[in-house]
Amino acid sequence: MRTLGLIGGMTWHSTVDYYRLINEGVQARLGGMRSAALILLSVDFGPVEKMQEAGDWTGLGRLMAEAAVRLEAAGAEAVVICANTMHQLADDITAGVRIPLIHIADATAAEVKKKGLDTVGLLGTRYTMERDFYRGRLERNHGLRVLVPDEPGRTVVHDVIYNELGRGIVRDESRRRYVGIIQDLARRGAQGIILGCTEIPMLIRPEDSPIPVFDTTALHAAAAVDFALD
């Protein structure tokens, strides 16, 4: 079994899900009392959030690269960033270590294409919805058409993540607002919805959506299990 190196804490709520899902996946594959070999480095999200707001992606790149170096030094054989937004810094990580990065967008795109879809809606932080690092990878590397909510929908999605889900708060009213945004994306041609923030599955379940949803946390964890065992 290969050892996984997890960069977590962004936020810790979804990092808990990564730990559970990876261990469940290993046990399902190997049986008995088996569990995953992994190393978790959990950062303090408070300073990270402030650096995001300030646009200090250079400083965040250094922080993430240092985390990956520490994981590699501890024996990790691959890096798993337990967040979607922080994949903006994937190049900073891969430049500083010899071990591979298991990219969340690649794991998600593989499942979308497996389902035979070519047009998806993307929900996530404003950074994930508006910047090229995620949408561009889905479009250029995987040939998908990616739709994002119009304003004020993007603001709603972003604010719920930071003001509620990242704090462990799940509100029915926010679920209804998200469902309305999903319905609008479906009317615009989305065949499925990428839950492109690892906290969104706390709020949106498959039965809440009129079209298929893709849980990036679960898909990323499954890709990590595949790497560890194959």
- Give the range of the structural domain holding residue 206, as residue numbers without chain letter: 104-215
Question: The tokens 């996530």 sit on which residue?
Answer: 124
**What is the average pLDDT score of the chain?**
97
- Which of 39, 128, 140 shows the shortest CA–CA distance to 90? 128
CATH number assigned to the domain comprising residue 18: 3.40.50.1860
Could you tell me if 92 and 108 lie in one domain?
Answer: no
Could you read off the pLDDT of 90-113 as tens digits, one per residue?
A: 999 999 999 999 999 999 999 999
Please indicate, yes or no, whether residues 92 and 159 belong to a single structural domain of this protein. no
Residues 77 and 162 in one domain: no
% of residues, the chain, pLDDT over 90: 100
- Please give the tally of structural domains in the chain: 2
User: b/e string for 181-196 if b means 16 or more Cβ within 10 A?
Assistant: bbeebbeeebbbbbbb
pTM: 0.95
Give yes or no: residues 59 and 153 share one domain.
Answer: no
Same domain, 41 and 134: no
**DSSP line for 181-195:** HHHHHHHTT-SEEEE
Residues 22 and 92 in one domain: yes
Which contiguous run of DSSP H or E holds residue 82? none
Q: pLDDT band for position 41 (50/70/90)? A: very high
pLDDT of 25-34, one tens digit each?
Answer: 999 999 999 9
Bridge-partner residues for 165, per DSSP? none
Residues 70 and 132 in one domain: no
What mean pLDDT comes out for the span 130-136? 96
Instruction: Write the CB contacts of 13 (distance below 8 Å, at least 6 apart in sequence).
Output: 165, 166, 168, 199, 202
Residue 131 and residue 101 in contact, taking contact as beta carbons nearer than 8 Å: no
